[in-house]
Structure 1
Amino acid sequence: MRSLILTIFLCFFMWQTQAQRFTIPDSLKGKSYEELYQNVYEAKNDSTLTLIYINTYLEKGKQDKDNVEIAYAYGLLSHYQEEDKVKLQYLDSAIMIGKNADHYSFPSLPYSLKAGYYYHKLNYGKALENLLFSLKAAEKKKNEAHIKMAKRNIAEIKSKLGKYEEAMELHRKVLLKDSRVGLEGEVDTINYLYHVLRVAEVHSKMGEIDSSSFYIRRGIKISKLVKGYDLYHNFVLKEGVNHYYRNNYPLAIDSIKKTLPFLSKYIDKDYILNAYLYLAKAHSKLVNREEAKKYYQKVDSMGLVEENMSLNLREAYSGLANYYKDKGDLKNQLVYVNKLLKFDSIYQENYKLMDKKLLEEYEIPNAIAQKEEIIATLEAERSTSATQITVISMLLALSLGGVVYYYRNQRVYKKRFVQLVNTTQQKTVTPSVKENTVKNKTGSTAISDETRNQLLAQLQKFEETQGYLKPKINAKDLAKSFGSNSSYLSIVVNTYKQKSLSQYLNDLRIDYVVERLQSDTKFRKYTIKAIAQEIGFNTAEAFAKAFCKKTGIYPSYFIKKLEGRK
């Protein structure tokens, strides 16, 4: 409530001070909104002149008491602000005033703009929150264009979070139903092309290179027909990336280089960063180390960690750290290892929706170990004192102990993996509940034979139909669906399955997922979180814990070993 009051106060304050500071120039008095907007567009490269036109637009809206135009002006003003705080204040003003505007684009438009602000800051949680507000508002006003835009951007965030299957499902079901282009003019065609570009990217990230190239060819064909928009070179870039994944590195370099003069003009620098990164990676594969270094440095020179959290930047740091490591240049290697650590620290702190498991358990510890190794080596070069030698020896001994411990655990995990696979292959038929039925087992005497047999039959059907895959199953609801009560159900499960209902459900799910992971290669590509949701667990942590409790290994290790057998 306090934050809402503060937001309203700030918006009111900005409104009042804006009016006190700005007076419409005589030359602009009497101009229509359409004329002023055209002036804004034509003066877009002159920020001073642009702000004069937008403030005139805003003042005219206030004089006319037109909430639609006022909200629209605040949205325009936000685009030309350098300070994040001021940009967000203008967007909040547009949202607040837009809620009272009788127009199909408000307040969905300013919510979408605010989502875009957070998206470019890589704060996907806030971006998603505002996209959902935008979607809800667009659905209320039945604004199909904004509904499509919100859903497309939600799919893009899912892709950024690594949820490629979910992103592609959203693309297929909602956004690619109507493949017709240009029905509502050029703007409709441009939006469609941006969507085709995103679909191609997701296919590429999923390893479906041929499908990605199919959409790229479609995008190239259509983009040639659109004047004034240079989307053609975006598609050429994406096909260059696909050539890289096909291991055709010379063709990848040739395709990507052709796009550089055009991509460098874009305001969104992520395109040119992506081009430089894949040029570096392709040259690295061809062992052209100096060329690879040159392009990695171009990526590095274009972004600061505090301002640009693109993962392209992280890959460049890693590439440069490896380059200097191969050169034996420990000082420069340390510079880029420190940049890696700084990137990961900020990324982990600010973007908690991202899957931090890999960073926490592998990449960050690996980078820290690399940093400590470099520092130790540099110190050893400066001095060979007995104390330093002793310390280094102790560190080596500890490292050796850690390696021994690691490989010992790996042998244990490998043995458990083999046992689990063999057990699954030998289990041809899952024993039904009836095979475990023994009358008058301890604990079941209080239940009539009819009730007991009915529950056992229901449990057998429950297993056969894989009812255990549904999320949020509890004893009360399950017993009700069986036509019984939770007390009787718990007694039967405890007696005949010799485990609690929770353990019974978890064991059924783990048995199912072990078999499916072995037989379904596509399922193995899911994230741990996606697999957990697929089989009824509420969280990835709960799934991993249940899997390890039953099998003695973690699901990530099991999947990795299965993939290694291909």
Structure 2
Amino acid sequence: MKLRSRHINFSLLVITLLLSNAIYSQKQQQTKFSQKQLDEITRQYRLSNVDSLSLSERLGYVSYYLKGAYLSQKDSLIYKGLLQKTWLLGVAKQYDSAIIYTRQLYDRAIEKKDTFYMQKALLKFGIYHKKNNQLATSFKCHTERFKLSKITKDTITSGRSLLDMANIQTSLGDFSGSKTTAIDGVRYLEKTADLRNLAGLYHIISVANKESKRYDEARIYNEQALALGKDSFSINTIGIKNILIFKNTKALILAAEGEYQKAIRLLKTLESDTILQQDKNEYARVLSNLGHLQWVDGKENKYSEKLLLKGLALRNEINDVGGLMSSNIHLTRYYFEKDRSKALKYAEAAYKNAKIRGDLVFIIKALGYIFKLKENVNKEAIVYDQTHHKLQEINQKNREIYAVTKYENEKLADENVILTKEKDKLTNQAWIISLLLIMSIAGVGYYYYRQQIYKKRFIQLLGKDEHKDTIKTSAIYKTGVSSSISEEALEHLLTQLQQFEDQKGYLAPNINAKDLAKSFGSNSSYLSIVINTYKQKSISQYINDLRIGFAIDKLQSDPTFRKYTIKAIAKDVGFNSSEIFAKKFFKNTGIYPSYFIKKLEM
């Protein structure tokens, strides 16, 4: 019986093992991605790269490939498919869809902690948001990419990210910011073989200097960009198209310096370049610039109009909205004295293109001409004011984001290095104690340093004879204002503002732009334009600066006033709270009112 029992148990064990193996093999067959399947999706991927096929067909093939890639659960295949899908969607100008698939790429890279593909995704985010003219979002994406590249010590990607950021700042008219960013980028790339992007950074710096009227510096950086293309290899690396763009910029620099004939000769050489003629975007740019400069050099030049209209037609043909804005502005200037109705037509076309593209810089530029050519511009004046403020806010925010990122990157990079070196708990504790000690010493040092800075600012403040930020009625009648406001209305507003300052009307609490403008017999849009133009400030900033100036003067001259509480002083000079007063006082002077009073009493 025992022998029989053993045989039965052995038989059951064998059967169990066979069944388990069969089930396991079946599961393996279900989940294993066969070579045949791999070959098939590889074929689909190759088809998505065939240029002779339509974009819709190529997108269909890559979608099929992606399905197989996800079934395979292989990250390398999934990354490859998502990169191809987003690229094709970008070529098809389906930028919103490209952003959606880029999100899938980014999320997977984060899940896998793959910094390489995180950077790839952030680059694509930056590109597609820029194509959608979401420039602030694009700038943030490139900034995040720069942050990652700093952590991974990837100097090439750091430099390229800064180039992308500088390009966006240039598009937003922030030439000072773009120059600073691009110079930082040069530091990363100047000792590398990345000639293409280094040349791009030199070009951005050149453009920024030209727009800031620093023509000597603009010429130097333009020559540096061109000098990188010293042979056929380097020219091919930089790109012949980019070299031609640099030469176009050189012509504009020459023209800005008054060297019109040299500029025109250079543009004519570019116009006849067969390589440039194949690129309709750049060819139209050269035609438009050449027509414009020939007109500037000689108002009666008979070829100018023909070239300007040819450039416009070419840009219409390829639907280059950005180029159309420039062409329409050039034609506005051309017809301004010859035919004002035509000039207005082109100015409004430029305004329309700028709104379609969401280009804040060109909206302001186009409105500047519309103000000069149109009778009733109340609506346009409001748009101008809103756009001006929005552009200022975006540029300021972009600068702040980059400044914070630079600081955080250095801090995170240091922490990353330290953490990798820490082996055990005792070492960590020793490091923390050392760090706290250093921070304590640094804190004490920083406190005394700040005290010295405050003291210096206090002395400088005492040395100023005038703290009020006034508008003089004898100020030059600026073109930007005259375009929207008559000379008589402007003089009236300037007189009212001077009386407002002389009579210390700014000390009244709860002043708002609408009521102030109404008391002047005007409207808030006109008042805002005047203050923006003559003081480069908003209405609220202008009033707050006057209040702070008054507070400084009175605190120095009136010992009794110094005995008041900060809250009482704030109320006396028109602020509703001591916190707002202290904040504005510090912003204007670099010190707090309590410190200022304390030093005056010593």
Q: TM-score, normalised by structure 1?
A: 0.56
Compute the displacement of 1:106 (Å). 1.4
Matches for 1:298-447 after TM superposition, within 5 Å? 298-304=310-316, 308-310=320-322, 312-324=323-335, 326-328=337-339, 330=341, 332-333=342-343, 335-346=345-356, 350-351=358-359, 362-369=368-375, 404-409=488-493, 433=555, 436-438=558-560, 444=564
Compute the displacement of 1:504 (Å). 7.4
2:276 maps to which of 253, 259, 263: 263
CA contact (8 A) 1:317 1:339 kept: yes
Q: In 1, distance between residues paired with 2:554 and 2:83?
A: 65
Q: Is structure 2 residue 192 aligned with structure 1 residue 192?
A: no
Q: In 1, distance between residues paired with 2:559 and 2:364?
A: 43
Compute the displacement of 1:252 (Å). 0.7
Q: In 1, distance between residues paired with 2:369 and 2:502?
A: 28
Compute the displacement of 1:317 (Å). 1.6
Compute the displacement of 1:281 (Å). 1.9
CA contact (8 A) 1:108 1:134 kept: yes
CA contact (8 A) 1:78 1:88 kept: no
Task: Give the 3-state SS of the residue equivalent to 1:99 in structure 2.
Answer: helix
Matches for 1:8-87 after TM superposition, within 5 Å? 40=49, 44=51, 58=66, 61-62=69-70, 64=72, 65-66=74-75, 67-87=78-98
- Tell me which amino acid in the other structure corresponds to 2:159: K
For 1:151, the equivalent position in structure 2 comes to 162
Instruction: String of CA shifts for 1:369-404, please: whole Å, max 9, x gaps.
Output: 3999xxxxxxxxxxxxxxxxxxxxxxxxxx9x9653
Q: In 1, distance between residues paired with 2:566 and 2:333?
A: 60
For 1:490, the equivalent position in structure 2 comes to 567
Instruction: String of CA shifts for 1:391-450, please: whole Å, max 9, x gaps.
Output: xxxxxxxx9x965334444566799999999xx9xx9xx869565324xx7975xxxxxx
- Tell me which amino acid in the other structure corresponds to 2:567: S
Compute the displacement of 1:284 (Å). 1.0
Compute the displacement of 1:211 (Å). 1.2
Task: Give the 3-state SS of the residue equivalent to 2:209 in structure 1.
Answer: helix
Q: In 2, distance between residues paired with 1:32 and 1:437?
A: 87
Q: Which has the larger radius of gyration?
A: 2
Q: In 2, distance between residues paired with 1:130 and 1:222?
A: 29
Task: Give the 3-state SS of the residue equivalent to 1:223 in structure 2.
Answer: coil
Q: Is structure 2 residue 243 aligned with structure 1 residue 232?
A: yes
Task: Give the 3-state SS of the residue equivalent to 1:106 in structure 2.
Answer: helix
CA contact (8 A) 2:267 2:290 kept: yes
Compute the displacement of 1:283 (Å). 0.6
Structure 2 CA distance for partners of 1:504 and 1:329, relative to 1, 3 Å: closer
Structure 2 CA distance for partners of 1:291 and 1:68, relative to 1, 3 Å: same
Compute the displacement of 1:285 (Å). 1.2
Percent same amino acid at aligned positions?
11
Q: Is structure 2 residue 244 aligned with structure 1 residue 160?
A: no
Compute the displacement of 1:120 (Å). 3.3
For 1:111, the equivalent position in structure 2 comes to 122
CA contact (8 A) 1:104 1:143 kept: no
For 1:294, the equivalent position in structure 2 comes to 306
Q: In 1, distance between residues paired with 2:581 and 2:364?
A: 26
For 1:247, the equivalent position in structure 2 comes to 258
Structure 2 CA distance for partners of 1:297 and 1:371, relative to 1, 3 Å: farther
Instruction: String of CA shifts for 1:25-60, please: whole Å, max 9, x gaps.
Output: 999759699x959x94xx557656966885686466
Q: Is structure 2 residue 178 aligned with structure 1 residue 205?
A: no
CA contact (8 A) 2:146 2:158 kept: yes
| Greater helix fraction, Structure 1 or Structure 2 | 2
Compute the displacement of 1:194 (Å). 2.0
Task: Give the 3-state SS of the residue equivalent to 1:303 in structure 2.
Answer: helix
Q: In 1, distance between residues paired with 2:67 and 2:128?
A: 25
CA contact (8 A) 2:226 2:243 kept: yes
Compute the displacement of 1:282 (Å). 0.9
CA contact (8 A) 1:57 1:73 kept: no
For 1:185, the equivalent position in structure 2 comes to none
CA contact (8 A) 2:146 2:162 kept: yes
Q: In 1, distance between residues paired with 2:370 and 2:112?
A: 49
Q: In 1, distance between residues paired with 2:373 and 2:110?
A: 48
- Tell me which amino acid in the other structure corresponds to 2:489: Y
Instruction: String of CA shifts for 1:324-372, please: whole Å, max 9, x gaps.
Output: 4544484x5554244134235435xx356x5976766x44444543999
Compute the displacement of 1:273 (Å). 4.2
For 1:525, the equivalent position in structure 2 comes to none
- Tell me which amino acid in the other structure corresponds to 2:314: M
CA contact (8 A) 1:135 1:151 kept: yes
- Tell me which amino acid in the other structure corresponds to 1:346: I
Q: In 1, distance between residues paired with 2:112 and 2:574?
A: 63
Structure 2 CA distance for partners of 1:443 and 1:224, relative to 1, 3 Å: closer
For 1:219, the equivalent position in structure 2 comes to 225
Q: In 1, distance between residues paired with 2:287 and 2:157?
A: 33
Structure 2 CA distance for partners of 1:318 and 1:290, relative to 1, 3 Å: farther
Q: CA RMSD in A?
A: 4.9
Task: Give the 3-state SS of the residue equivalent to 2:258 in structure 1.
Answer: coil
Number of residues paired by the alignment?
395
Q: Is structure 2 residue 191 aligned with structure 1 residue 180?
A: yes
CA contact (8 A) 2:347 2:369 kept: no
Matches for 1:447-462 after TM superposition, within 5 Å? none
Alignment gaps of 5+ in structure 1: 1-23, 183-187, 373-398, 445-487, 513-534, 537-566
- Tell me which amino acid in the other structure corresponds to 1:213: R
For 1:472, the equivalent position in structure 2 comes to none
Structure 2 CA distance for partners of 1:201 and 1:88, relative to 1, 3 Å: same
Structure 2 CA distance for partners of 1:272 and 1:96, relative to 1, 3 Å: farther
